[in-house]
Homo-oligomer: A and B are copies of this chain.
């Protein structure tokens, strides 16, 4: 048994059992991949993959049990290197953050500025994606921490901690009739075409839920991933916008007005997530604490260390 064999097993699952792709992903030859798999199967005495003719289709029952152990071994080898790097220097290294546009654009800049002041030599990488992609990046070990409002609880392999809370707000052009309304209601909003986030992004589920509970069916005329796009279309008069309030900048968004809607939509909570069993560098840990100061530090360590 060797590590290359284990990497191949893990990659085979990730590449949907296409060994040619596995070979590409691991920068090796395809026949070598085949041989490694057969060697390992022979060594441990069970077939890991279901085969139909020459193709691999999936995992056998033993394969299903063994793959998580393989993944843990490989994660631990990664941890070995990470811990060693930690001792080599607390100040340099890489930190990869997977997050959504909204967080990257409006919530993170302040924290990242602060982080860079403390750790100027740490190289930061920001990966952007939807919630499921963020979760996947954590699971695959591509990203160290993930930040999103939506379901980062999906996989039990992830540990999520609340970072901060915020509300949606309504944005309208300056000359819009809603500007005159005193107490904003869902009914009043639902009377106009609405531009807001895509499903699965930035608390969209909360927005839908609020209207559904009020038995309202507004016209979602356009949806987008980010507030900048939404604001643009509100400005051109396509409808009113519902965005995260922090995405409104009075200094820059001069053509628009922000209407408070805290009482209309449920509070949203943005979470910071890490992958259980993956060692966190000291600075990654500090980054998490900067973003969520009230996080239970020992819980974070525990999440990162146990499986």
Residues of A within 8 A of B (CB): 1-3, 44-46, 61-62, 65-66, 69-70, 72-73, 76-77, 79-81, 83-88, 306-307
Contacts and interface: CB of A to CB of B under 8 A. Distances in A.
A159 to B, nearest CB: 14
B66 A84 contact: yes
A44 to B, nearest CB: 4
Contacts of A73: 73, 76-77, 80
Nearest to A89: B45
A66 B79 CA distance: 9
Given A1-B3, A2-B2, A306-B306, A84 B62 contact: yes
A70 B80 contact: yes
Q: How many copies does the complex hold?
A: 2
A136 to B, nearest CB: 23
24 contacts: A1-B3, A1-B77, A2-B2, A2-B3, A3-B3, A44-B80, A44-B81, A45-B84, A46-B88, A61-B87, A62-B83, A62-B84, A62-B87, A65-B83, A65-B87, A66-B80, A66-B83, A69-B76, A72-B76, A73-B77, A73-B80, A76-B76, A306-B307, A307-B307
Nearest to A4: B2
A282 B85 CA distance: 40
Main secondary structure of the interface of A (DSSP, over half): helix
A85 B66 CA distance: 11
A62 B61 CA distance: 38
A80 B2 CA distance: 12
A46 B87 contact: yes
A54 to B, nearest CB: 23
Contacts of A46: 84, 87-88
A84 B2 CA distance: 16
The 8 A-B pairs with the shortest beta carbon distances in the complex, nearest first, are A44-B84, A62-B87, A46-B84, A73-B76, A45-B88, A46-B87, A69-B76, A69-B80
Contacts of A66: 80, 83-84
Contacts of A77: 1, 73
A1 B84 CA distance: 13
Report which residue of A77, A79, A87 has the largest number of chain B beta carbons within 10 angstroms of its beta carbon: A87
A307 B276 CA distance: 12
